[in-house]
A and B are shown apart, each in its own frame.
Chain A
Amino acid sequence: MRTRRNWSALGLALVAGIAANSARAQDTGTLDKERAAQLFPAKAPYSPYAGRAFPTRPLFGDTHLHTSFSMDAGAFGARVDPVQAYRLAKGEEITASSGQSVKLSRPLDFLVVADHSDGMGFFPLIFSGSPEIMADPQGRKWNQMINGGQGADAAIDIIRNFGAGTISRAIFPTPGTPAYRGAWQKTIEAAEQANEPGHFTAFIGFEWTSNTGGNNLHRNVIFREDGARAGLTEPYTTMKPLGSDDPRDLWKWMAATEAKTGSRVLAIAHNGNLSNGLMFPIIEPVGGKPLDRAYAETRTKWERLYEATQIKGDGETHPTLSPNDEFANFERWDKGNLDLTVAKKPEMLEFEYARSALMNGLRLEQKLGVNPFKFGMIGSTDAHTGLAAIEEDNFWGKTSSSEPNEKRASHPWVSGPAGTIMGWEQTASGYAAVWATENTRASLWDAMERRETYATTGSRMVVRFFGGFDFTEADVHTRLPGRVGYEKGVPMGGDLRSAPNGEAPTFLVAAAKDPFGANLDRYQIVKGWLDAKGAVHEKVYDVAWSDPETRKPGADGKLPAVGNTVDAKNVTWSNSIGTPELIAVWSDPDFDPKQRAFYYGRVIEIPTPRWVLYDAKYYGIELPPDAVTTTTERAYTSPIWYTP
C-alpha cells in the first residue's frame, strides 16, 4: 500500500508538474525585458555545454555479427564477408547473399564483426574443395552437400558435429594453421579499413563458442586497440588442446592476451535462454563445485556486459520467473538448448535470464563478497548473414536462408528432440546503445567497460537513467537531464553505497522515442533485492507514461494498457497514442538501507507490426495461425546497484 500511495502522490505531482509546466515555461520562457536585462545585463550568451565531458548522445551499434567467415553462416549460404558487412553498417547498399539489394534505414555508429573462432574461415575452405578437404570423408560430404544445393542440411550437420565435438581434426582450421591465421588477418584488415574515428567505429573481435552438449555458453570478445595489437594473437577456441570450453579458461586467455598484445579485451555472453540452466550458474558447470570467490572475481572482471536481446529470443526475463510482470512474455525461445537436443525444464530458467541472474548476483555477493553477475545490458543481432538489419520492416533474418523470402515465416527454423522453433519465431532484435563521449574504439570500449549502455530490441530510442540521493521533483523540469544527472548522481552501470541517513535513492529517468519509430508507452524501473533472510525479490514500477491525465493505475496497481493502433492488413500503426518523450524523478518507496538491491530502467514502445506482417503483405501470403504479429519494442538499461 505504501508503494501505491507514494506512487500516486508522485504521479499526481508529475501531472501537476506538467500542467504547471506550461504556465511556468511561459513564466520562465517569457522574457520580461526588464527582468532579463537585470538578470543578464549585457553579458554575452555562454554555452552551458562548454567544457562538458559527459556523453550527450547514445551511439548505436551491433557487437555481434557473423559473416561468411563463420562456418555455420557460410554453410547457410552467407557470402557477405567482413568488408561488405562493415559497408552495410556504414549505410551503403550492398547485395545480400540471396542476391537481393539491402540497405539500412540509417547507418550504425559502430559494429563488431564477431565470427566464430572455432573453424574461422572453415567455410571458404570447405567451399573451395581443396585436396585436404576432399581427402576427408566429412569434408568431401559437406562440400558435395553444399555444392548440391543442400547448404542448410550441411549447416545443421556441421553444427551438430561441432556441438558433439566430432568434426574431423584434419580439416578444421585451428590456431597456428595458415588458414586460421589468414581468416583472422582478413577480419582485422576489414575492421582497420572500415574504422573512421569520429564517424564510425569498427571493432576487432570474435566469438568464443562454447557449446558442449548443445548448451550455449557463447561469448563475444572485443579488442579495445587496433590491428597491430590484435594481430599479435589469434582468437581463442574451444577445442582442446589449444582451446577450452570452460569460460574460466577463456578468462585466463584474456588475461594473457592483454599482457601479450597490450590491448584490453572484454567478453559479452549471450543466449542464456539456450544454455539449459548453465549461463548464470550457482554451481560451476564444468567443475561441478559451487561458485567460489575466484570465479566471481574473474567473471565480473572480464564480463561487464550481457547481450540481453537478439534474434534468438529475448533474455531479460521469463513469465515463469516474473509472473507479475505483464511485459515478461516477450519473444520467448524456451523450448530447449541451442540445438533442441535437450528440452527445457522450469528449474533451469532461473540460471538463464538477465533479471534472475542479477538477483542471484546479490545473493552470491553476500556469500562470496564479490558479485559475479554484475553486468550491464546491451542488445545485438547475432545475425549470420553479414547484415546487421533487424528492423521490423527491414529484417534480414538469422541466416542467409532466412533472408526475405515467402517461406521463411512458415518454415521450421530448427527442429530437434525438444521441439521445433518456427521461422516466424525469429526475433527482429537488437542493438547496443552506448553512452560514449566520442565515436572511437577507445571511447566506446571504455563506456562498455563502465557499463554505461542499454539494450534495445532494434528501436533507436534515447534512454537516460541516473541514480543518486539528491534528485528532486524539480529536476523533471530540467532541459538538460544529462547535465543534472551527472552532477547529482551516477549513470546506468554505476553504484550507490550506504544511503545517507537511510534515505531512499532517487532516480532521474528520461527517454525520447526513436525519431523514425513509434511513440513510447511507459518508462519502468525494475528493482531486485535481497532481504534479511537471504531471499531475493523483484518488482516492476511504472514511473512515467503517456497521457497521465487519463491513464491511472487501477485497483491492482496496474497501469491500463496504452492501446493498439496496428492495422495488420495494411501494416501500419499510428503515433496517435503514446508520447514522444518521458521524464520523471522516482524515489524507491520500499527501500531498506540494509538490503542489497539493483535498479534498471525498461522503456516500452506502443505496439507496432512485427516483421512477419511486412512479409505477409509483401509476398501476399497467409501466416501460420499461431504466428505473433505485433511487438512492443523496448530498451533495458544497465542496472545501478545499491550496496549497504
Chain B
Amino acid sequence: MGGAGARAPDEIVVSAGRIEQLALGFTRTWQRPPTQQELVGLIDDYVNEEVLYREALALGLDRDDLIVRRRMRQKMEFLGQDSAPLRKPSDSELVEFLRANPEKFREEPRLSFVQLYLSAARRGEAAARDGARLVAELNERAPSDLASLGDPLPLPQEVDDRSVSEIEREFGGELAARVLEVEPERWAGPFASAFGLHVVLLRSRTEARLPALEEVRASVEREWGVAQRERAEAERMARLRERYRVTIEPPDDRRAVR
C-alpha cells in the first residue's frame, strides 16, 4: 500500500448533479427522499465505489470478465444505434433505392386462367392422353359448362389475377411457369402441378413491371430503413476494425475447431 501512498492522489469530484442523481435513485427505490444522514452515506458509498472501480480498472480486472465484456459491447452497440438515428428519406432517395433494388419491388406477371384437373389417382396412365384429347376438343368448340369437365379438386377452377409465385404456391409443380408461356384464349396442356395434370385456358396476362414509388412507398421506406441500418452498422464495424490488425492463430489440432 506504501506504493499507492507515494503516488499523487487522483481526484474524485462528486458534483452537485451526481448528488442529485443519487438522491433520485434512492427516492425511486424507497418512495421518499433520503434524510441528510442517508445522503451523506450515499455519497460516501459512491466515493468508495468510484475508488474501487478505478483500482479495478488499474488492475485490469475488466479484461477477462464475461459480464463486463458483454456490457461494454452492448453499450457500444447502443451507442452505434443512437449515433445513426433513422431519418426520413427524401423521395429522390427512395426512387433511387427502388431502381437500385428492382428485385425487391418488381411486380411479378399476373395471370387469369381456367384450369381443368385430370387426376392421376383416378385415371392412371390415361390422364395425359385424356388431357391431350380434351385440349383438342375444347379448341374446336368453346365449352359453356366448365363445371362438368375434368376431375374434382378443391382448388379454384378459375384463377383470377394472381401473381406467378402465388400460383406456384397454390398449385406447385410446373403449372405456373407453363401457363405463363401459353398463347392466350387457346386451351393448352396438359401441364403437371403437385396434384396431377391440368388443361388450361389463359384468359389474360399482366406483364411484370417495376411499380412507381407511390404504389409501394410503404415497403420501399421499410426496406430503405433496413438497408440503412445494416449499412451503418457494417460501416461502423469496418471503421473500428481498421484500427486493429487481427491475427488468427489456428489451433494445432484442426479437428478440434470443426
Residues of A participating in the B interface, judged by any CB pair closer than 8 Å: 18, 21-22, 25-26, 28-31, 33, 36-37, 39-40, 43-49, 56-57, 83, 87, 106-107, 127-129, 131-132, 135-136, 144, 147-149, 170, 193, 196, 462-464, 476-483, 510-513, 515-516, 546, 579-581, 583
Contacts and interface: CB of A to CB of B under 8 A. Distances in A.
Contacts of A128: 78
Contacts of A580: 119-121, 194-196
Contact of B157 (A43, A196, A479, A581): A479
B134 interface: yes
Interface string B164-184: 000001111100000000000
Given A25-B151, A31-B137, A45 B71 contact: no
Given A45-B144, A581-B119, A581-B195, A135 B29 contact: yes
Interface string B135-172: 00110111111111111111111101000000001111
A29 B150 contact: yes
A22 B123 contact: yes
B148 A45 contact: no
B236 interface: no
A479 B25 contact: no
B1 interface: no
Given A29-B130, A135-B29, A512 B155 contact: yes
Given A26-B130, A193-B218, A479 B152 contact: yes
Q: Which of A148, A196, A463, A464 has the most CB of B within 10 A?
A: A148
Interface of B: 25, 28-29, 66-67, 70-71, 74, 78, 116-117, 119-123, 126, 130, 133-134, 137-138, 140-158, 160, 169-173, 193-196, 218-219, 222, 226
B154 A511 contact: yes
12 contacts: A28-B149, A29-B149, A39-B145, A40-B144, A43-B144, A45-B146, A57-B155, A87-B226, A128-B78, A170-B28, A515-B171, A580-B194
B11 to A, nearest CB: 25
Nearest to B160: A49
A31 B141 contact: yes
Contacts of A136: 29
Given A25-B151, A26-B130, A49-B158, A479 B117 contact: yes
Given A479-B147, A479-B151, A480-B147, A57 B156 contact: yes
A250 to B, nearest CB: 31
B152 A581 contact: yes
A25 B194 contact: no
A579 B121 contact: yes
A149 B70 contact: yes
Nearest to B140: A33
B98 to A, nearest CB: 16
A515 B74 contact: no
A510 B133 CA distance: 27
Contacts of B143: 31, 36, 40, 45
Contacts of B154: 462-464, 481-482, 510-512, 581, 583
B145 A148 contact: no
A545 to B, nearest CB: 11
Given A57-B170, A579-B121, A478 B142 contact: no
